[in-house]
Homo-oligomer: A and B are copies of this chain.
Amino acid sequence: MNNELFQIVDEPIILQDLVDKVERREAGAVTTFIGTVREWTKGKRTVYLEYQAYKPMAIKMLKTIGDEIQSKWPNTKVAITHRVGRLDISDIAVIIAVSSPHRKQAYEANEYAIERIKQIVPIWKKEHWEDGETWIGDQLEKVSYPKGKPNIKGEVL
């Protein structure tokens, strides 16, 4: 197991590895988020997905999210791994693990991490439907960045 807290990989992600990375004696709570490939999206059937990343920058942005979380919720520990390449239905695309002494922070920081991943981490998803394929744009369903660039300063949109 690689001990890096923030990773982009092309093999399956192991949940327990992420939990092991954040476990500490002072933690009473660990939350994990597991993002998997869903078969149906708004009535359309996905056959498989392809994820592409600008890897060095993606890792850098994951670290940035980690730093943001540290400053918002001190005493949490975060690990994030995102997978790229071809993923089939139910395959895990991303896992986020957060530990903290108390549960509230572990939930909040975890949810914050996935929202930020969808804003600033250069990873793209190509949906392969039964009848075609598309690169998916911004999942926040904004057509452009109102401020000219992704919200990179940790503000909540």
Contact = CB atoms under 8 A, between A and B. Distances in A.
Contacts of A16: 15-16
A23 B31 CA distance: 17
Contacts of A40: 26, 101
Contacts of A25: 38-39, 89-90
A38 B32 contact: no
What size tier do the contact residues of chain A reach?
A: 20 to 34
18 contacts: A15-B16, A25-B38, A25-B89, A25-B90, A26-B39, A26-B40, A28-B36, A29-B33, A29-B34, A29-B36, A30-B36, A31-B31, A31-B33, A32-B32, A38-B101, A103-B111, A103-B114, A107-B110
B32 A34 contact: yes
B29 A19 contact: no
A35 interface: yes
Q: Which 7 A-B pairs have the closest CB atoms?
A: A28-B38, A30-B34, A25-B39, A32-B32, A107-B111, A25-B89, A31-B33
